[in-house]
Amino acid sequence: MNFAYGEKELVFAAEVEQFLDEYLSDPARRAAVSDRHPEQLSQTVDTAAKREFIAALAERGWLGMSWPVEYGGAALSGIYDFMLTEALARRGLPQPGKGVGMVGKTIIRNGSAELKERFLPRIIRGEIEFAVGYSEPEAGSDAANMQLRAEHVGDHWLLNGTKMWTTSAHFADWYWLGARTDPDAPRHRGITLFLIPMDSLGLEVTPIMTMGDERTNQVFFDKVRVDDDCVVGELNRGWTYICEALDLERFAMMPMGPLETKAAALFDWAREATREGRPIAEDPRARRQLALVATDLQVARALQKRVLAAALGDTVPTVESSQYKLFMNEAGQRVADTALDLAGVAGQLRVGQRHTPQDGRFERSYRYTVVDTIGGGTSEIQKNIIATRALGLPRSF
C-alpha cells in the first residue's frame, strides 16, 4: 500500500496549517486554546475557548468529513480526519472529540432515526460535547462487569449506581454510557447504551485529580431518569457497540504528533545541554538511548499505518488498534524514562521551578505516561486482545 499523500491531501494539509497559523496568531487566543506542552492532551484548556475553536473547524467543514453526505459529512476518505487530528495534536490543540468519532459513528451505524436527527447535526456543527461512562468501581478494565442498574418503569428508565474515571464529565453536555438492563443475562449481554443529559436530576459529578495533573471524575446516579428514546441501538446489545467504539477511540486518542513532539524536545535538549563541559548528545551511552527513541518513532509510525489501512478499508481495526496503543504507551514511557535519565537530578524538577530542563515537561510527562496506559483500555487489556484475537491463544481464567 502506498502511504504517500496525493495532491488533494497535500492541498488539504497546507490549508489546515495555514488556518492554524492564522488562528493562533493572536497570543491570547493561543494561550487559551493550546496546552503548554503539546504531548499532553489534557483537559486543562479553557472550555469556552475550546468550543470556539471546534466551532471554527466545523465552519470549514472539517468535522465528520468521512461521514455520509446524508448526515452532513462529505463522504471523504478517513485520511482527511486522520490528517486533521495529527495537525491538531502536533500543536497541542483540542481534538474534534468523542462526538465525531465514537458517538457519531456509532449512532450512524446503530442509532434510531430519531437519535440521528437529534444528535448528528449538533455533533457535526461542534455544538455538543460528550462524556463516556464505561468504567465503574468494580468494572475498570473489565467493562463487561459493569453494575450500574437501569430499571424500566413505564416509558422511561431509572439508573442507579456509580461510574468512575469519566474525564469529561465536568464540562460535557451529554453522557454516553453503558448500564445493565438484564441482570440475569451473561456478562457480555444485558448491557444497553444510553444518552443522558449531564444536568439530569440525581446525577452528581465529583472530581478526582490524577498523578498526571489531569482531572477525571466519579459520577453518582440516584434514580436518574432516562427516556426510552435515549436508548442507543438495540436493547441489551450495548457491549457490541462499546467494543466497536473503544476500537475507534484507541486510534483517535493516540495520534503520533504528541510522541513526535516529545521526542523532538528531547533531541533538541540533548544537543544543547552539557555534562562536564561536553554536549550530552556526544556521549556514546546517550547517543544509544536517543537512537532507541528514534527507532521507537519509526515502529510507531508503521503500526499507525496498519491501523489506518484497516480503518480505510471500512473494517474495525481491533487488533491493529490494540497493537498501536500498547506500543505508543510503552514508547511514551521510554521517552520519558530516557529524558529523566539523561537529565539527572535536574530532570525531577517540576513546572515553574528554577533550572528545570524544558520547563519541567520531562517530569510532567513521566507522570502523565501512567495515565496514558489506562484510557481507552489498559495495557493489560490490549495484551489480552492481541493474545486472543491475533495469536489465537486461550483466554486466562
- Under a CB-based contact definition with an 8 Å cutoff, are residues 185 and 149 in contact? no
Per-residue burial over 285-308, b = 16 or more CB atoms within 10 Å of its CB, e = otherwise: ebeebbeebeebbeebeebbebbb
Q: Helices 256-272 and 79-90 meet at what angle, rounded to 10?
A: 30
Longest dimension (CA), the chain: 77
Which H/E stretch holds residue 180? strand 174-180
Instruction: Single out the residue of 327, 265, 304, 290 nearest to residue 40, CA to CA.
Output: 265
d(CA 18, CA 87): 11
Which positions are annotated as active-site residues? 249
**Grid coordinates representing 334?**
521510554
- Under a CB-based contact definition with an 8 Å cutoff, are residues 146 and 190 in contact? no
Instruction: Label residue 187 exposed, middle or buried (CB < 10 Å: 0-12, 13-18, 19+).
Output: middle
The CA-atom distances, in angstroms, between 387 and each of 286, 309, 310, 323, 384 are: 34, 21, 19, 10, 5
Instruction: Single out the residue of 76, 53, 52 nearest to residue 66, CA to CA.
Output: 76
How far from the centroid of its chain's Cα atoms is residue 217's Cα?
16
Residue 162's DSSP bridge partners are 220
75 dihedral zone (left: phi>0; alpha: psi -120 to 50; beta): left
